[in-house]
């Protein structure tokens, strides 16, 4: 009888609790194929920087790095579904605030997970991954935020809320408003947010950007999501 020998240099799979509820967000860049030949090489770097930043800011919620794949797709995984929407909104804001001014669609899958390699969440298996990936594949063109949670009764109401959030972001956010939101999502004061610009801007200017981005309403929504999916 022959036995497979595991490569000792291969990463161990993550420990997964088969009864735990996880969350996965998968997204792609809106209009990536229309980027200029000058901007297209910058796309992956902008996405990578935003992905690295969320891991730095939320290390307890993101046990593995954000993944980039298929040119313009990204994926994040968390064992804490209540934290996911705030992280995803930060990621979207960071892309809009970047020099490329790009936006993203995203599909959130909530459910159990069967398996995930330590260093490659793109190869993760289980309901949360399938719901996220297949939902993104089935989306039409344009901006969208969707959650799929199986037969969870909270799903329909949250999809209504996410449609409104998506419309607000697409129609209200400018790069400057999005930059202000990247600070607000991580709890910075308005004075601290002002230093995200070079040169710095005033606290009043930050307050104006946040008001025009409808940050108070968004923050309330993020808090409700956190309570609902904790």
Distance CA 84, CA 25 (A): 8
- Structure confidence at residue 14 (pLDDT): 79
Give start and end residues of each alpha helix (H) in 109-174.
127-138, 155-172
Q: How far apart are the first and last CA of the chain?
A: 48
> 177: helix, coil or strand?
helix
Partners of residue 174 on adjacent β-strands: none
In tens digits, what is the pLDDT along the chain, a chain of 230 residues? 333 333 445 456 678 999 999 999 999 999 898 999 999 889 999 999 999 999 999 999 999 999 999 889 999 999 999 999 999 999 999 999 999 999 999 999 999 999 998 768 999 999 999 999 999 999 876 558 999 999 999 999 999 999 999 999 999 999 999 999 999 999 999 999 999 999 999 999 999 999 999 999 999 999 999 999 99
- Structure confidence at residue 48 (pLDDT): 96
Domains and CATH numbers, the chain: 22-228 (3.30.70.1230)
Asked whether the CA dihedral 83, 89, 93, 94 is positive or negative, the reply is positive
Partners of residue 115 on adjacent β-strands: 125
The pTM assigned to this predicted structure is 0.92
**Chain center to CA of 40:** 21
Distance CA 122, CA 136 (A): 14
């Amino acid at each position: 009888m022959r036995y497979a020998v595991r490569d000792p240099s291969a990463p161990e799979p993550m420990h997964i609790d088969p009864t735990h509820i996880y969350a996965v967000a998968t997204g792609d860049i809106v209009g990536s194929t229309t980027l200029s030949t000058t901007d297209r090489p910058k796309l992956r770097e902008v996405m990578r920087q935003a992905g690295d930043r969320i891991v730095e800011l939320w290390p307890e919620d993101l046990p593995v790095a954000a993944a980039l794949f298929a040119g313009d797709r990204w994926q994040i995984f968390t064992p804490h579904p209540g934290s996911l929407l705030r992280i995803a909104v930060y990621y979207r804001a960071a892309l809009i605030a970047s020099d490329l001014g790009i936006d993203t669609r995203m599909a959130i899958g909530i459910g159990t997970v069967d398996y995930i390699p330590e260093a490659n969440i793109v190869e993760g298996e289980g309901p949360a991954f399938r719901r996220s990936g297949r939902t993104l594949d089935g989306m039409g063109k344009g901006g969208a935020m969707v959650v799929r949670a199986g037969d969870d009764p909270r799903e329909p109401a949250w999809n209504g809320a996410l449609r409104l959030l998506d419309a607000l972001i697409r129609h209200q956010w400018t790069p400057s408003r999005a930059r202000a939101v990247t600070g607000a999502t991580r709890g910075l004061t308005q004075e601290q947010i002002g230093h995200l610009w070079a040169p710095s801007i005033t606290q009043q200017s930050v307050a104006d950007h946040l008001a025009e981005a409808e940050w108070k309403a968004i923050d309330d929504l993020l808090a409700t999501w956190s309570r609902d999916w904790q």
